[in-house]
Amino acid sequence: MKNSKYLPLMATFVVFVLAYIICISVFPNMLSTRVAGNLLTDNAFLGITAVGMTFVILSGGIDLSVGSVIAFTGVFLSVVLRDTSIHPLVAFAMVLVLTTAFGAAMGGVIFFLDMPPFIVTLAGMFLARGISYLLTTDSVPITHPFYSTLQDIFIRMPGNGRLTLIAIIMLVVFAVGIVLAQRTRFGTYVYALGGNLTSAQLMGVPVAKTTIGIYALSGFLAGLSGIVFSLYTSAGYSLAAVGVELDAIAAVVIGGTLLTGGYGFVAGTFLGICIQGLIQTYIVFDGTLSSWWTKIVIGLLLFGFIALQRGLMWMSERSARNKRHASAAQPSSA
Amino acid sequence: MANAQPLLSVRGVSKAFLGVSALESVDFTLKAGEVHALLGENGAGKSTLIKIITGAYRRDEGEVLLEGTPIHPRDVVDAQKLGIGTVYQEVNLLTNLTVAENLFLGRQPKRFGLTDIREMNRRSRAILDTYGLDIDVTAPLTNFSVAIQQVVAIARAVDISGKVLVLDEPTASLDAHEVKMLFAVVRQLRERGMGIIFISHFLDQVYEIADTITVLRNGRLIDTVPVPGLDRLKLVSMMLGRQLESDIKRTIDPNTARSEPLVSLRQLGKRGNIDPLDLDIRQGEVVGIAGLLGSGRTETAQLVFGIERPDSGTISVAGKPVNMTSPRKAIAQGFAFCPEDRKTDGIISDLSVRENIIFALQAQRGWMRPLARSEQEALADRYIAALDIRTSDREKPIKFLSGGNQQKVLLARWLATNPRFLILDEPTRGIDVGAHAEIIRLIIDLCERGMALLVISSELGELVGYSSRIIVLRDRKMVSELTGDEISTDQIMKAIASHGATGEAA
């Protein structure tokens, strides 16, 4: 019974292993650190923002603004680096402050005006996208030499695979995210909010601070994801990263986090990202399949996981009922 | 002992909501090492008093002293810090977190800035050990029964607060075995010198666990009395208030008693809601349901109307068994039900009087066959006149009407469907005296025109006035059925107050 909490996570793990086995049996070349390195690099920006999304969904919310914030970050960086002599590191700091404040503001609106996160972050999505257009509608290349320096950093793995800087950043974000969720008060508060808001309030959880903190974290990670995306593409474009918020939500749900909040793990989201990456890699290796197959498979997986979650909840409700009846039937000997 | 300082004392506390007084100059004294039951019917002011003590409400007047010091808790968390912990009926813990996390939420032990999970689990085991509870503290709370969750909630409240423990209907969803376990914990806390405020509708449990009883009625303190030697009948009459006027009874046509029943319940029941009971209701008959709050009155009505599904027994209508699985089916049988809480279960406050009146009839016809506007208006006007609904016009949103008039609109809604059988749950609650009398007159009138009625009411005098028969419920059981000359407020109160064994024999 105790393991029911881990069941969706284990299901994700099984899906991942199965998918990997299928991939390798069709294309043995996929079993290499080079493919693994590329998979992590290609999905680094998605992974980073998905960590923020995991916290948001664990708390029972949703953040639709992250894709737009990623685009805004890229556009902001490219324009600042093109038009001013500000060093990229300073620009990074500036944009992270902006996106964190943006997330915190959305969290504040959600809590103080008691608005549904869906609507507030939808507004945030339009706002961030609109501001990106305002800055520029062109795709602006980033040619700063510091960018090339960063792009050239990597760790060589055995088997000649490259673990690039942005892949490392993603892995660090996941590691920090896991510790934050499992080993800090903030993390427990996030689970508490997702479990039952009234109870959390009565038990003394600082709901305002936590709500604002969650969306600030998501904003910060969307900003970091935008920086990584600009390193990945060497450009800023206001039409970039459309729909990334949905990919992030998909990764979180496939990773076993309950959409209604309260149950799930950051590590599961990592597996969710890897599963999405595997499907993409498979399609690239195959060469004849349309890339839309990624979406189709992701769609099917999502359905599968939602059904699994529903099934688990139904089962646990039923066993709780049976337990009650069993204890009621017991003779009152104690 | 006599000059020992009380642990908690409430003096002259008053509270009003929007000018309506909910609590009037109430005194309440809790000693250390005492289990003090707080009793009263709906609207007595129990929950208002508790909410003032636990910081959920601010008092308008009076003072609350904890160990002799005046306190002004700002909110529930503040009251917890001062030493007053509360455990509610629906356990307010987080079932998705582990037992240990629930015990230590907000005050987790830390090591190197991170939660020290091992230390937290160790301390949790130590805490629960003192309650004789040996469970896996790393498992999510949802894995455990409500009783164990209650004990965990109590353990948390005691560990944080440690002086006063408020138990708000802790036993409402527990079975007998679990109640025993909970009471063992309560007794242990009493021995440790805590003051415990215990709220329950189950008189047997109050007698079993409480040392002192305070009764509130209509926002006023009735009395505080020690439990040993307290007569049950006296307690019940304190809670319900004795009707001063002698019972006025309606004369009943002897022919109705011999006619075939319209609705028959046979061993109808649902575990945890109401024990199986038999009941016949004939046309032209009002059957009253009496009992204290929480005795299973509303639950019975909900079973009959298909809101809750029974797990035993049958319902037959005019001799034919009916599968009453939803309110729609009940309506199709010509049933109608005016629920107790009209604000949440009945009126649609932004719609007009007309729209509220035609609602059930339209639902019955199906939305594909709308009532013509002229028919709607005729219907609304007819009922506004017939029931004397005071409204400036039929298009006024119902939220602007007084409680009594809202109640009449609800009645009109169901009468418009032309029911054979009408269930009224507390039809006279919260309405003024004039409207009160009109509703009663209407009940009698409907009955005389051949409708069958089932009426739930806390106003015993009123129930005695119009009922052909009265069934009395206690602790989710039917304990007595009164007919003819047996019907009187005295008899009802005796049935409510009777002990388990004698009650079943009655």
Q: What is the DSSP letter of B476?
A: T
Mean pLDDT over the full length of chain A: 89
Mean pLDDT of B14-25: 83
B291 is written with which tokens? 């009992």
User: In chain A, how many H helices and how many E strands?
Assistant: 14, 4
Same domain, B319 and B366: no
Same domain, B301 and B349: no
Does the pLDDT at position B242 exceed 70?
Answer: no
Contacts of B145 in chain A (CB under 8 A): 323-324, 327
Same domain, B408 and B496: no
Spatial contact of A323 and A333, defined as CB atoms under 8 Å apart: no
CA triple A156-A241-A68, angle to 5 deg: 125
CB-closest option in B106, B114, B177 to A184: B114
Sign of CA dihedral A125, A127, A132, A138: positive
CA distance A96 to chain B (A): 25
- How high is the pLDDT of residue B256? 63
Task: Give residue A19's pLDDT band: very low, low, confident or very high (50, 70, 90).
Answer: confident
Task: Give residue B197's pLDDT band: very low, low, confident or very high (50, 70, 90).
Answer: very high
Same domain, B491 and B462: yes
Q: Do B177 and A328 touch (CB under 8 A)?
A: yes
- % chain B with pLDDT above 70: 92
Q: What is the DSSP letter of B272?
A: T
CA distance B139 to chain A (A): 6
The listed CATH number (1.10.10, 1.10.3470, 3.30.300, 1.25.40) that belongs to domain A2-319? 1.10.3470
Is B148 a domain residue? yes
- How high is the pLDDT of residue B499? 64
- How high is the pLDDT of residue A132? 96
Alpha carbon dihedral A194, A196, A201, A204, in 10-degree steps, equals -80
Q: Do A328 and B175 touch (CB under 8 A)?
A: yes
DSSP track, B451-469:
-EEEEE-S-HHHHHHH-SE
CB-closest option in B96, B102, B138 to A262: B96
Q: Could you read off the pLDDT of B389-440 as tens digits, one per residue?
A: 888 888 888 888 777 788 888 888 888 888 899 999 888 776 666 677 778 8
Task: Give residue A320's pLDDT band: very low, low, confident or very high (50, 70, 90).
Answer: low
- How high is the pLDDT of residue B104? 93
Q: Could you read off the pLDDT of A50-90 as tens digits, one per residue?
A: 999 999 999 999 999 999 999 999 999 999 999 999 999 99
Is B358 a domain residue? yes
The answer to whether the complex's ipTM is over 0.90 is no
CB-closest option in A1, A187, A204 to B143: A1
Is residue B143 within 8 angstroms of chain A, CB to CB? yes
Does the pLDDT at position A329 exceed 60?
Answer: no
CA distance B95 to chain A (A): 7
Q: Do B106 and A204 touch (CB under 8 A)?
A: yes
Chain B residue closest in CA terms to A319:
B143
- How high is the pLDDT of residue A188? 95
- How high is the pLDDT of residue B445? 85
Domain ranges of chain A: 2-319
Chain B residue closest in CA terms to A197:
B94
Q: In 3-state terms, what secondary structure has residue B193? A: coil
- How high is the pLDDT of residue B500? 54
Q: In 3-state terms, what secondary structure has residue B165? A: strand
Q: Do B96 and A195 touch (CB under 8 A)?
A: yes
Contacts of B105 in chain A (CB under 8 A): 188, 192, 203-205
The Cα A28–Cα A118 span in angstroms is: 43
Is B165 a domain residue? yes
pLDDT top residue among B403 and B82: B82
Contacts of A1 in chain B (CB under 8 A): 139, 143
Q: Note down the domain range covering B367.
A: 342-418
Spatial contact of B428 and B459, defined as CB atoms under 8 Å apart: yes
Same domain, B232 and B248: no
CA distance B293 to chain A (A): 24
Mutate to test the interface with B, among A185, A197, A317 (most CBs of B within 10 A): A185
Q: Do B115 and A179 touch (CB under 8 A)?
A: no
Is residue B29 within 8 angstroms of chain A, CB to CB? no
CB-closest option in A185, A323, A334 to B108: A185
Task: Give residue A209's pLDDT band: very low, low, confident or very high (50, 70, 90).
Answer: very high
Is residue B175 within 8 angstroms of chain A, CB to CB? yes
Q: Do B105 and A183 touch (CB under 8 A)?
A: no
Does the pLDDT at position B245 exceed 60?
Answer: no
B276 is written with which tokens? 């199986």
- How high is the pLDDT of residue A2? 46
Residue B366 C-alpha from the chain's centroid:
34
Same domain, B86 and B196: yes
Is residue B180 within 8 angstroms of chain A, CB to CB? yes
Q: Do B94 and A203 touch (CB under 8 A)?
A: yes
Contacts of A313 in chain B (CB under 8 A): none
CATH code assigned at B293: 3.40.50.300
DSSP track, A273-321:
HHHHHHHHHHHHHH-SS-THHHHHHHHHHHHHHHHHHHHHHHHHHHHHH
Q: Do B95 and A200 touch (CB under 8 A)?
A: no
Mean pLDDT of B20-31: 88
Is B475 a domain residue? yes
Mean pLDDT of A228-237: 95
CB-closest option in B92, B108, B178 to A188: B108
CA triple B277-B283-B289, angle to 5 deg: 40
Is B187 a domain residue? yes
Alpha carbon dihedral B392, B416, B315, A324, in 10-degree steps, equals -40
Is residue B77 within 8 angstroms of chain A, CB to CB? yes
Is residue B111 within 8 angstroms of chain A, CB to CB? no
pLDDT top residue among A315 and A236: A236
Separation in Å, CA B157 to CA A194, B7, B50, B164, B184: 22, 17, 15, 9, 17
pLDDT top residue among B467 and A78: A78
Is residue B312 within 8 angstroms of chain A, CB to CB? no
The Cα B175–Cα B273 span in angstroms is: 11
Chain B residue closest in CA terms to A194:
B96
CA distance A166 to chain B (A): 27
Q: Which residues of chain A have a Cβ shorter than 8 Å from any chain B Cβ?
A: 1-2, 4-5, 179, 182-185, 187-188, 191-192, 194-196, 198-200, 202-205, 262-263, 316, 320, 323-325, 327-328, 330, 332, 334
Q: Do B180 and A332 touch (CB under 8 A)?
A: yes
Q: Do B115 and A203 touch (CB under 8 A)?
A: no
Is B257 a domain residue? yes
Q: Do B146 and A191 touch (CB under 8 A)?
A: no
Spatial contact of A282 and A23, defined as CB atoms under 8 Å apart: yes
Q: In 3-state terms, what secondary structure has residue B375? A: helix
CB-closest option in B94, B175, B180 to A199: B94
Give chain B's domain count: 3
Contacts of A332 in chain B (CB under 8 A): 176-177, 180
Mean pLDDT over the full length of chain B: 84
Contacts of B147 in chain A (CB under 8 A): 327
Same domain, B404 and B483: no
pLDDT top residue among B322 and A249: A249
Q: Could you read off the pLDDT of A122-172 as tens digits, one per residue?
A: 999 999 999 999 999 999 999 999 999 999 999 998 888 899 999 999 999
Is residue B74 within 8 angstroms of chain A, CB to CB? no
Mean pLDDT of B44-56: 87
- Report the range of poorest mean pLDDT among A116-120, A303-307, B215-219, B455-459: A303-307
- How high is the pLDDT of residue A331? 39
Same domain, B270 and B311: yes
Contacts of A184 in chain B (CB under 8 A): 114-115
Same domain, B77 and B183: yes
Contacts of B101 in chain A (CB under 8 A): 188, 191
Same domain, B281 and B397: no
Mean pLDDT of A317-334: 51
Does the pLDDT at position B186 exceed 90?
Answer: yes
CB-closest option in A198, A262, A327 to B92: A198
- How high is the pLDDT of residue B91? 66
- How high is the pLDDT of residue B501? 42
Count of CB atoms situated within 10 Å of the CB of B258: 8
Q: Do A320 and B76 touch (CB under 8 A)?
A: no
Mean pLDDT of B3-15: 85
- How high is the pLDDT of residue B209? 92
Q: Do B115 and A188 touch (CB under 8 A)?
A: yes
Chain B residue closest in CA terms to A264:
B96
Chain A residue closest in CA terms to B102:
A203
The Cα B183–Cα B162 span in angstroms is: 18
- Tell the residue number behind the tokens 């809604």, with chain if given: B413
Q: Do A199 and B92 touch (CB under 8 A)?
A: yes
- How high is the pLDDT of residue B171? 80
Q: Do B139 and A1 touch (CB under 8 A)?
A: yes
Give the closest residue to A203 by CA, choosing from B28, B96, B8, B169.
B96
- How high is the pLDDT of residue B241? 72
Q: Could you read off the pLDDT of B265-282 as tens digits, one per residue?
A: 999 888 878 889 999 998
Q: Do B145 and A316 touch (CB under 8 A)?
A: no
CB-closest option in A184, A192, A332 to B115: A184
- How high is the pLDDT of residue A184? 94
- How high is the pLDDT of residue B35? 95
pLDDT top residue among B4 and B441: B441
Q: Do A203 and B92 touch (CB under 8 A)?
A: yes
